[in-house]
Chain A
Amino acid sequence: MNNNDIERYNPSQRTNHWAVAILFVLAALSGLALFHPALFGLSGLFGGGTWTRILHPFIGVAMFVFFLVLAIRFAGHNRIGASDRQWLRQINDVVHNREDKLPEVGRYNAGQKVLFWVLILCMLVLLFSGIVIWREYFSGYFGIVSLRWASLLHAAAAFVLILSIIVHIYAAIWLKGSMGSMLYGTVSRAWARKHHPAWYREINERK
């Protein structure tokens, strides 16, 4: 870090992000405990199976609320345009790190934008299906067919969400210099110019 670094996320955005992240980890661990017998042992982290069943929905709702705030904050930066579609068509260049061949990227690249919208979809499906299968308060209001669909969709959306977050975390590990933006809020000028040149230019013009 040095004085030349650019602020990418302010403290309140960072706090919001990590609140979602922590709640996601808790929701994922408690959810996976009920997802497959091989992972039932994870319920021990939450005080046993019954506590896992009690806590999981509350953790999930809290995650959704914090995520909603985060999504509203970042939605404007995640509109998908023509160059994003081109970027996605060149996904092979992306994974082989041929960044120079890719269309110029703004604040977020197309991968990040797709992730953003996939997360929104997953979170909505998880919330609504989760309410239906929340036995203690809501399941009594729904018929058996709704319950079965909700159970299936809840598991499917959770699977997609977990996969997406694996990709998200890996991307942050892969692209050195990215993690700092969420930890201390800043990225180096060289990082911004290399990975997000259009955003970098925009920032310089704003000055």
Chain B
Amino acid sequence: MMATQDVIARSATTTERPSIREIGEVAKLIDTSKCIGCKACQVACSEWNDLRDEVGTSAGTYDNPIDLTAQSWTVMKFAEYENPGSGNLEWLIRKDGCMHCADPGCLKACPSPGAIVKYANGIVDFNQDHCIGCGYCITGCPFDIPRISEKDKKAYKCTLCSDRVSVGLEPACVKTCPTGAIVFGSKADMKEHAAGRIADLKERGFDQAGLYDPDGVGGTHVMYVLHHADQPSLYSALPDEPTISPLVSLWKGVTKPLALLGMGAAVLAGFFHYTRVGPVRVEEEQENAELSEPVVHQVDPSVHVVDPKEPRP
């Protein structure tokens, strides 16, 4: 856990966050062209974070588990791509996991104050102690990352090893990667490192090689070097142009304070209408007229009106 001064964004919080401390942004760079799909990163993640996913079943591909779960925060995704230009079969392997967006959709959607935070260094972290298990983070995420645990109904995802990073260590997956496909450092350094890799790839015939750091979510703190940066979706449905969905922005944006204002205004309108137009009462005469309607119409002939002052006959 990082210091509270470092929490620069916090879910379901409308006031300003601490912003006096200046910390450089970090980033993890995943070079898909260097990845051999060994899954050491998956194992390291599971080890460091003490996660033991259920042993699943093979779906006929190398993907194992087949998708992210509450206990598998990173998963290698294997895609076979027949390049129409070269005729080569390319094995595009991508380490899937949280992208740590600068503008996180999960944080925007979360209704529980402080359940999702963004640190000054760019790491987006879930605080399970505040998580209420509604799953709105899943609805908000442009990358389909968070998962609700079947066990405790809390949301989980990659923390970018915020615990390690806060004491100056690199994330566990970075530490273990045998080919150096995953590197970690300041975001500026990672971009520079990527530029070198991209230049190298271009020299080797990958004209469209490039960096995946999508602007639609303000950039990410997990970036990819892709051989086909023009077609990110080749890499097991990596979104081409990820953004927070307009539906989510509408749901969680300016409509909310406006709706609150609308409800408050309706109550106030009622109050002022009452004080101006006044209540509608049924006129008392009307009420009395109804009451004075005789219930008994005929007086019994045996009833005589007697005035005691009158002399009796």
Q: A163 to B139, Cβ gap below 8 A?
A: no
Q: Which stretch of B49-57, B218-226, B254-262 is in the interface?
A: B254-262
- Over the window 5-28 of chain A, the binary record of Cβ atoms lying under 8 Å from chain B Cβ atoms (1 yes, 0 no) is 000000000000000000000000
Q: B245 to A148, Cβ gap below 8 A?
A: yes
Q: B14 to A53, Cβ gap below 8 A?
A: no
Task: Give the contact-size bracket for chain A.
Answer: 35 or more
Which residues in B have their C-beta under 8 angstroms from that of A39?
A: 260
Q: Which stretch of B74-82, B189-197, B282-290 is in the interface?
A: B282-290
Instruction: Please tell me if A181 contacts chain B, counting CB pairs below 8 Å.
Output: no
**Contact residue among B109, B153, B279, B282 (Cβ-Cβ distance under 8 Å from A174):** B279
Select from chain B the residue with minimum beta-carbon distance to A177. Answer: B282
Given contacts A133-B139, A166-B270, contact A40 B12 (CB under 8 A): yes
Select from chain A the residue with minimum beta-carbon distance to B284. Answer: A190
Q: B286 to A37, Cβ gap below 8 A?
A: no
**Contact residue among A37, A50, A148 (Cβ-Cβ distance under 8 Å from B133):** A50
Q: B282 to A34, Cβ gap below 8 A?
A: no
Instruction: Please tell me if A206 contacts chain B, counting CB pairs below 8 Å.
Output: no
Q: B282 to A37, Cβ gap below 8 A?
A: no
Instruction: Please tell me if A191 contacts chain B, counting CB pairs below 8 Å.
Output: yes
Q: A159 to B259, Cβ gap below 8 A?
A: yes
Q: B144 to A37, Cβ gap below 8 A?
A: no
Instruction: Please tell me if B111 contacts chain A, counting CB pairs below 8 Å.
Output: yes
- Over the window 139-179 of chain A, the binary record of Cβ atoms lying under 8 Å from chain B Cβ atoms (1 yes, 0 no) is 10000110111011001000100110011001001111100
Question: Shortest beta-carbon distance, B76 to chain A, in Å?
Answer: 22
Instruction: Please tell me if B247 contacts chain A, counting CB pairs below 8 Å.
Output: yes
Which residues in B have their C-beta under 8 angstroms from that of A133?
A: 135, 139
Q: Which residues of A contact B (CB under 8 A)?
A: 2, 4, 33-40, 43, 48-50, 52-53, 95-97, 99, 133, 135-136, 139, 144-145, 147-149, 151-152, 155, 159, 162-163, 166-167, 170, 173-177, 188-191, 193-194
